[in-house]
Amino acid sequence: MHKKVAAQIIQDAIASDFKGFDPFDGLNSKLFDIVPHARNSLLGLFWIQLFKISPINFRKLLLVEKARNPKGVAIFISGMLQDFHRTKDERLLPLCLYLAEWLLSIKCDLETWDSPSWGYHFDWKARAFFVPKGKPNIITTIYVSRALYDLGCVLDLDYLKQEGLASADFIVKHLTTQIDGKTFFAYIPGESAFVHNASLWGAAWVAFAGAVKNNEDYKQLALTVARQSVADQHSDGSWAYGTRSHHGFIDGFHTGYNLEALHEIRTALNTQEFDQSIENGMRYYKENLFEEDGTAKYYHNNRYPLDVHSSAQAIITFLKVGGSADDVAFATRVMQKAVDDLYLPEKGHFCYQVRRHFSNKINYMRWTQAWAYYSFSMLANYLVDNDESD
């Protein structure tokens, strides 16, 4: 089932030239070209939340066009590389390279940021800050860098690998933050919020680049940053999203990000330092963020909204960080529940979310389809490697 669903998603993505809508793209409305300052206002915050939550897609009416999202494109490349490793279908590689070249063409301004970095294709208004379109952020930069590096390894193209690795310089120079005795990587340049998944993913990429380049300073900085999030891990193994007053929630996919990032750090640096933190976190993750039938809960204390993003990260986390027979079996169960509860077979895509009283069936390219495709392709690849059937 997962291979058929993944095949439908990638076919549709190719037909759309990887352009689509995004939950956070409301400020791309051409109406804001008339009053651009309103993007960074309470109206902008209300507007973006309305677009995100509403099950009615206002985008065409309100002049929001489909577009490529750099992170979404990177995740599709990663999924196609999973498919290539399984099928050896070389037709996938020119498409991956075409998308990689596009990613390189839209790097953030090198005169400003010195090293490769990437941001979203929309203005983004949050409670704490406003991020203009194209301003680099750590998460997009890392997912793009990983895709470029992995593709460079497959194609034996050094320039792709070097572009990916060089983004670690951007992270170290522009995102290293020290506040109240804490050292962490910020989500965007100039922002002081400490968000664990962003900081840990920054540490993971800096650790990887440090290991590849044998840069001891990068390795030590990555360890310092990772230790901060490990120190802030709760005694039960959980993490709050961040340290600000409105960041106290515990949710599934960010917990999965934290665990995957810590696993990447211990692998890159060949360290056992974080084993106990990972073990405690995995135990909490399994016991509090899933139901027995494989339903991926959004929050530790509330299953809603059901969201394939939570399911996709669960599959990735159980395969990469766990990997036991029980973990693989549970990842398969999570996949099946995601298909049962969130896939729209008549449309050939996953809906965005199922809430307690209504469903949002809008097709979101990055948030939903890219993540489903990548995780399902990884699962298919894993099951073939372990001689298990679909």
| pLDDT value, residue 388 | 54
The model's pTM? 0.96
Rounded CA Rg of the chain: 20
Which residue, among 96, 231, 105, 116, has the nearest Cα to 162 in the 3D structure? 116
Residue 384's pLDDT band (cuts 50, 70, 90): confident
3-class secondary structure, 134: coil
What are the residue ranges of helices labelled H in 61-137? 70-87, 92-105, 110-113
C-alpha span between 141 and 90 (Å, rounded):
26
CA angle 271, 274, 275 (to 5 degrees): 90
Looking at the predicted structure, is the pLDDT value of residue 390 above 80? no
pLDDT digits (tens, 9 = 90+) for 242-278: 988 888 999 999 999 999 999 999 999 999 999 999 9
C-alpha span between 380 and 369 (Å, rounded):
16
What are the backbone dihedrals phi and psi of residue 339, each rounded to the nearest 5 degrees, phi first?
-65, -45
89: amino acid identity, one letter: D
| pLDDT value, residue 246 | 84
C-alpha span between 339 and 142 (Å, rounded):
28
Task: Return the exposure string of 94-127: e unless at least 16 CB atoms fall within 10 Å of the residue's CB, then b.
Answer: eebbebbeebeeebbeeeebebbbbbbbbbbbee
pLDDT digits (tens, 9 = 90+) for 286-329: 999 999 999 999 999 999 999 999 999 999 999 999 999 999 99
Q: CB under 8 Å to 328, separation ≥6 — which residues?
A: 318, 319, 322, 382, 383, 386, 388
Which residue, among 158, 165, 153, 77, has the nearest Cα to 115 in the 3D structure? 165
Across 326-388, the runs of DSSP E, i.e. the strands, are 343-344, 349-350, 353-354, 359-360
The torsion of the CA quartet 233, 234, 236, 241, rounded to 10 degrees, works out to -70
